[in-house]
Amino acid sequence: MKRYFNNLFGWQAVGGGLFLLIVSPLMLAVYQYEFSDHQISLQQNLSGIYKVLLPPRDINIFLLNVAISVVGVIAGTMLYRYKKRKPIKRLTASQLLDLIEKGENEQVEFKSSLRYDYRQIKTNKNLEDVILKSIAGFLNGNGGILLIGVNADGEILGITNDFWSLKIKTKDGFEQRLMLIISNAFGKDICSKIHVAFHEIENKEICSLLIERSKRPVYVKDNNQTIFFLRTGKVTNPLTTSETVEYLESKNT
């Protein structure tokens, strides 16, 4: 049932069914109840309407049912899109494990750390730029979720090594550092688009960033260049100037 409501068809089917079986008959029953000056009870009106609508006895009633269902489908579509756009403020433990199990996709990315280099086994502040590129890709796209402390294979590493590289060696210190580099790179207003939370999974601390879509384009400075990054598929790609202009034009139409 949960999966059913995670797809557009499910919301459309429910919307069409609700309008056909509940919303429309109830509205008609209330109208007739008021029009008859309460001489016939609301329940009797509703019962009579169901007898006329279901099953339809002529083409006009059939067409009316189709029209009612279409309105419901449209309502279901709008609710589904609103649900998809509405940002989730925090992930539950079960949601988090489900995301890790399914792996990376267009709206989910894993990063091993904020600035601890597992290859060189030392702190590498340049890795912060990698995090910023990923964040920019989500901001410029449709938003998404970035998990720090999980490698590309879905192995939970935790962020303890990052803690040791910070002045304040706690979750607060980690979040302060994260929001500082985001603010410096993209502007303070962008910080409101990013919701940071910490989770203990398998006795290891990981950080989740729930990133909303940005209304304005976000750029990353890299080697004296200003680059536009976009999350497409399972990767975050830099776009050329012409590609960026074309994408932003299509986004605003």
User: DSSP for 163-217?
Assistant: HHTSSS-SHHHHHHHHHHHHHHHH-GGGGGGEEEEEEEETTEEEEEEEEPPPSS-
Same domain flag for 77 and 196: no
Same domain flag for 229 and 140: yes
Same domain flag for 27 and 134: no
Same domain flag for 62 and 137: no
**Residues 6+ positions from 109 with CB-CB distance below 8 Å:** 134, 138, 144, 145, 146, 147, 231, 234, 236
Question: Considering just the CA atoms, what is the radius of gyration of the chain in Å?
Answer: 26
Tell me how far apart the alpha carbons of residues 60 and 67 are, in angstroms, rounded to a whole number: 11
Of 59, 85, 111, the one marking the end of a domain is 85
Same domain flag for 33 and 80: yes
Residue 213: domain span: 93-252
User: pLDDT tens digits, residue range 169-225?
Assistant: 999 999 999 999 999 999 999 999 999 999 999 899 999 999 999 999 999 998 888
User: pLDDT tens digits, residue range 141-162?
Assistant: 999 999 999 999 999 999 999 9
DSSP characters over 33-91: HHHTTTSS-HHHHHHHHHHHHTTT-SHHHHHHHHHHHHHHHHHHHHHHHHHHHSPPS--
Same domain flag for 105 and 190: yes
Going 234 to 238 to 240 to 246, the CA torsion angle's sign is positive
Tell me how far apart the alpha carbons of residues 215 and 200 are, in angstroms, rounded to a whole number: 32
User: pLDDT tens digits, residue range 73-128?
Assistant: 888 788 766 655 545 556 788 889 999 999 999 999 999 999 999 999 999 999 99
Of 85, 120, 143, the one marking the end of a domain is 85
Same domain flag for 123 and 241: yes
Same domain flag for 155 and 216: yes
Same domain flag for 42 and 125: no
The bridge status of strand 108-111 relative to strand 144-148 is: parallel
**Bridge partners of 105?**
108
The 10 Å CB-count burial string (b at 16+, else e) for 149-171 is bbeeeeebbbbebbbebbeeeee
**Number of domains composing the chain:** 2
User: pLDDT tens digits, residue range 21-70?
Assistant: 787 777 777 767 677 666 677 677 677 777 776 777 778 767 777 887 88
Same domain flag for 233 and 113: yes
Same domain flag for 117 and 78: no
CA distances from 90 to 22, 50, 207 (A): 34, 43, 11
Its pTM surpasses 0.75: no
Same domain flag for 30 and 46: yes
CATH number at residue 200: 3.30.950.30
Of 36, 52, 85, the one marking the end of a domain is 85
Q: What is the SS3 assignment for 130?
A: helix
Mean residue pLDDT of the chain comes to 86
**Residues 6+ positions from 144 with CB-CB distance below 8 Å:** 106, 107, 108, 109, 138, 211, 231
